[in-house]
Amino acid sequence: MMGERIRELRAARSMTATELAKAADVSVGLISQVERGITDPSLETVRKIARALDTPVFNLFQDTDLERVAVVRKDRRMDIRSPQGGLVYQRVSAGVGKIEVLEGLLEPGAVSSESGWSHPSDECVVVLTGRLVLEVDGERYELKPGDSGSFDSRLPHRYLNETTKPVRFLLSVTPPSY
């Protein structure tokens, strides 16, 4: 689905795969494989492609056939992986509407990004299992199961797992953005 959407957005902008690859600083082969559904790109690659297409990340996952009720089956969720590994997001929401909901799994010792990252949204994170460190604008907040943290995503932020066990969490982002 994402590959088809990227191809659709690229064509709407009259871009060739080569032009998109250059703008996103990735290989033409990778763009081709993603568009044909052969490979799933990393989260960092998805962000680069979204920037090159001048569209929010969520728009790459959006189904253009809007349904009145969108159901996402657990076994049909799309995985989004961090480029250095250690973090996997599964999109729980359908990719349409004004909110994006992700289920995250952060491996022991892993971080969501090497440094704080910002985008024009609001986020709310809820820890399901394990302990998560939420870092926002240089301040750290330790969250345990059932704890949540809400913040303005324009502030640099990231998630850290400083324990020896994986941490699972739900992340809601509104509006969906990159």
pLDDT for the residue numbered 78: 76
At residue 135, does pLDDT exceed 90? yes
pLDDT band at residue 25 under the 50/70/90 scheme? very high
Q: Are strands 148-152 and 122-129 parallel, antiparallel or unpaired?
A: antiparallel
- Which is more confidently placed, 130 or 117? 130
Q: Containing domain of residue 125, as a range?
A: 74-174
Give the CA radius of gyration of the chain: 16
Average pLDDT over residues 54-81: 74
At residue 96, does pLDDT exceed 70? no
Ranking 36-40, 96-100, 104-108, 172-176 by mean pLDDT, the lowest is: 96-100
Cα–Cα distance for residue pair 101/95, rounded to 1 Å = 9
Cα–Cα distance for residue pair 99/106, rounded to 1 Å = 22
The count of domains in the chain is: 2
What predicted TM-score, i.e. pTM, was given to this entire model?
A: 0.67
Whether residue 7 is found in the same domain as residue 50? yes
Whether residue 109 is found in the same domain as residue 143? yes
Average pLDDT over residues 124-147: 97
Q: Are strands 167-174 and 139-143 parallel, antiparallel or unpaired?
A: unpaired
pLDDT for the residue numbered 65: 54
Q: Is the dihedral of CA 165, 133, 57, 24 positive or negative?
A: negative
At residue 74, does pLDDT exceed 90? no
pLDDT for the residue numbered 66: 54
CA neighbor of 63 nearest in space, from 78, 42, 48, 82: 78
pLDDT for the residue numbered 1: 72
Residue 62 within any structural domain of the chain: no
Whether residue 51 is found in the same domain as residue 78? no
Look over the chain and give the mean of its residue pLDDT values, rounded to a whole number.
88
174 Cβ contact partners less than 8 Å away, ≥ 6 residues apart: 98, 99, 100, 121, 122
Find the CATH number of the domain harbouring 31: 1.10.260.40
Find the CATH number of the domain harbouring 93: 2.60.120.10
User: Is the CB of residue 178 less than 8 Å from the CB of residue 120?
Assistant: no
